[in-house]
Structure 1
Amino acid sequence: MSLSRPVLALGAGPRVVADARRWVVGTVAEMGRDDLTETAELGVSELVTNALLHGSAPIQVAVRGTREHPRIEVRDASPERPVMPHSRGTSAGDHRPGNVDLDTVLDDLDLEGLEAGAFALATVGRGLDMVARCSEAWGADIEEDGKVVWFSPATQFAEDEGVAGVVSDLDLPRAETIDDPVTVHLLGAPGYLVERLQRHVRELRREVRLLGFSYGNAYPAAATLADLFPLLVPLTESRYIDAVSLSAAGRGLDLSVVVSRGSALAARQAADLLDKADDFCRQEELLTLHRDDQLCEFQDWYLDQFAQQAAGHPAAPWQVPVTDPHASAC
């Protein structure tokens, strides 16, 4: 069985919580981790509920990490930070952490067919407090286009308040603070490959950082890789793109990216880092898709352009004809 897990895209309404629960339960069962069923089921129910009530569409659920240490992620398009349990006070009555029974909560969260109002009332007062009690580690990553709230399900439901969550922001410098800026021109770049590269770098960066944070002793290479990933951030993040226009030859996009000369000259090191990260994914059997041949070829051209142009060479356009597999046929 392939360990690579697809992403579950969710719609709107109370039924999607039940859909997410079934999907996550099925995924952990396929992985042979039935010991995580209850905490994974409850945790994802709470995170999807929060995304529906307080986040923005689209909402996605993913399972990352490894079979030994899986991580469940819920992504939505709102970059607003979640309200962490320690900052909102203790809930009243039966919603206090010490008065919650796991089986009762799971029964409450059988939300198929409920009206939206009843759905909201059934979940108010638990949220991230419950996630903390279901987790070995959990937190949220805030990005420029939304956020990912994640947790590593524990084998047992905590009787106390559980573990503290960690919120991290995308740590990018503002463009006007770039020292010795250089403008790199990426000519004829296929838009969908640019998006795939950006998404791949973000997911890998989160993967190695969270594995190092949560299970550093089990994955010492993850912490080392995480320390190197800032090399890639200014080269791939969309906020560094200064201008986008259609290529005159109709091949794709012409991009102008402003970075420091030092970052551009380090692009070959960044390419080596992606190769090492791919090796790490394969060796540790991560539940994250590694790059295919097309993305590897595009990444090599993309990053080489930074190093070449920073050294004074002219821009060389992307020459490989590609077709977006997601484009509609005429």
Structure 2
Amino acid sequence: MTPPTTVWLLGYPVELGMSTVEHISDWMREFQLMALARSQGSSHDVPARLQAMVQSLTARYGTELSTADRLRAEAAARGEPLVDLPYPVRPEAESAVRGWQAMLAEVDEYCRAEELLTLQRSPEQVRLQDWVCEEFLRQLGGAAPRRWPGDVG
């Protein structure tokens, strides 16, 4: 197995990041409720595949995300606007990052079409997630980390 490499998200905007994580958690709660409804006979199956994908990615990469999640939460508790986050990842994580990007865009489409109760991500949240995915892909390809280019909040 290839040893992990560390992807760094430099100058990660803490408040925006926390709101983005919360928003994605809202999606997941809605997916879980819809899965429960499906088990009771509902035919709404829009997020079933998406929920399965998130669960698969979380199971496979959850441990690698835990340190950055903790550092982000600690920075938020201290009121810090920015934090540098390390993500130990395997080089083969590129396909997972691309899958995550596609899933986020697809869920936003469901939100825009009002097939989910949760609102679509804000333009700032989309920009942050795009930057995160871009940084993962760039650094997995051997490029040096770049700081978050946007606003703090």
Task: Mark yes or no: TM-score above 0.5.
Answer: yes
Paired amino acid for 2:126: C
Please state how far the C-alpha of 1:267 moved relative to its aligned partner.
Answer: 0.9
Query: 1:309 matched to which residue of 2?
Result: 139
Name the counterpart of 2:22.
Answer: 199
AA matched with 1:307: L
Counterpart of 1:266 in 2: which secondary structure?
A: helix
SS of equivalent residue, structure 2 residue 132: helix
Separation in 1, partners of 2:114, 2:70: 39
> What stretches of structure 1 of length at least 5 have no aligned partner?
1-177, 325-330
CA distance in 2: counterparts of 1:318 and 1:262, whole angstroms: 24
Equivalent position of 1:140 in the other structure: none
Q: Does 1:224 align with 2:49?
A: yes
The amino acid that maps onto 1:287 is: L
Please name the residue that 2:104 is paired with.
274
Q: How does 1:1-330 map to 2 (within 5 A)?
A: 180-215=3-38, 217-230=42-55, 233=58, 234=61, 239-241=66-68, 244=71, 252-322=82-152, 324=153
- Letter of the 1:239 partner, please give it: S
Higher relative contact order (CA 8 A, sep 6+): 2
If each structure's helix is expressed as a fraction of its own residues, which one has the higher value?
Answer: 2
State the Cα distance separating 1:265 from its structure 2 match. Answer: 4.2
After TM superposition, give the deviation of residue 219 of structure 1 in Å: 1.6
**243 and 291 in structure 1: CA distance in 2 versus 1, 3 angstrom threshold:** closer
CA distance in structure 1 between the partners assigned to 2:57 and 2:129 by the alignment: 11
TM-score, normalising length: structure 1 = 0.38
Task: State the shift of 1:240 in Å.
Answer: 3.6
Q: d(CA) in 1 for partners of 2:10 and 2:108?
A: 27
Residue 283 of structure 1 deviates from its aligned partner by 2.5
1:208 CA drift (Å):
1.8
Do 2:112 and 2:119's aligned partners in 1 also have CA atoms closer than 8 Å? no
Q: Counterpart of 1:220 in 2: which secondary structure?
A: coil
Identity across matched positions, percent: 29
Contact 2:10-2:148 within 8 A present in 1 as well? yes
Residues 310-329 of structure 1: per-residue CA shift (max 9 Å, x gap)? 1211111111123x3xxxxx
Deviation at 1:232, TM superposition (A): 5.2
Q: Does structure 2 retain, via aligned residues, the 8 Å contact 1:301–1:318?
A: yes
Change in CA separation of 1:179 and 1:205 when aligned onto 2, cut-off 3 Å: farther
Give distance in 1, aligned partners of 2:114 and 2:43: 10
CA–CA distance in 2 between the matches of 1:224 and 1:315?
32
Name the CA shift for 1:199/1:243 in 2 (closer, same or farther; >3 Å): closer
Shift of 1:179: 6.9
Q: RMSD between aligned alpha carbons?
A: 3.0
Richer in strand (by share): 1
Gaps of 5+ in 2: none
Pair 1:196–1:261, CA change in 2 (3 A): farther
Corresponding letter in the other structure for 1:222: P
